Amino acid sequence: MSKLPEILWAQRASKIYLTVALPDAKDVSVTFEPEGLFKFSATGRNGDAYACKLELYGAIVPERCRTKPGLRNILCSIQKEQKGWWTRLLKSVEKPAPFLKVDWNKWRDEDDEDSESDCTSDDGAASENDGESNDDDGLLYLPDLEKARGK
C-alpha cells in the first residue's frame, strides 16, 4: 500500500501551485488531466511507495502545467482553464485530508494579487506581464545545501 506525501498548495488567479514534500524522490510520475485530476506517484528514499490522486476544484490545461523535481520536493505549476479564484483546492466539500496544507510562503490573497498588478516599474511604465505571472513564478525554492557544496 502506498503512503500519502505531504502536499502544500497555494493559488493565483490563473494557477495553482502544489509542492510535494518528498526528499530524494525517485521514479517521479505526475499526471494532469483536463477535468482537474492530479495524479502523483514516486519512490521515497527508503524505497517506500508514495502516491495520491486529487480531484481539483476546477478544470485545468494539462499542456500548460509544469513539474520541477528537486532534491527536497517536487514543485508543480497547474494552469487553470478559467482565470479566477477557487474557493478551495478540491472539488469535494469535505474537510481536506491532513496531508494537504496551505503553502503560506507562496500564498497570495485575491486583493494582494490585484495590488501587485497595479504596480509600475521605476520608470513609471506598467509591467510587461500586467499582473500575469510567468511560468517560473512560484517554482522557486532554496537550493539544497549539499547540492550547493557540490556533494
pLDDT (tens digit per residue) in 66-113: 999 999 999 999 999 999 999 999 999 998 889 999 999 998 877 776
Cell numbers that stand for 60 in this block: 485545468
| Residue 18 pLDDT > 60 | yes
| Residue 144 pLDDT > 70 | no
Interatomic CA distance for residues 101 and 35, integer angstroms: 22
What is the torsional sign of CA 63, 67, 26, 32? negative
State residue 119's pLDDT score.
40
Of 89, 109, 85, the residue nearest 99 (C-alpha): 89
If one compares 74 and 119, the residue with the highest pLDDT of the two is: 74
Interatomic CA distance for residues 70 and 68, integer angstroms: 6
State residue 107's pLDDT score.
84
Cell numbers that stand for 42 in this block: 514516486
Residue type, 26: K
State residue 121's pLDDT score.
37
What value does the mean pLDDT take over residues 142-148? Answer: 48
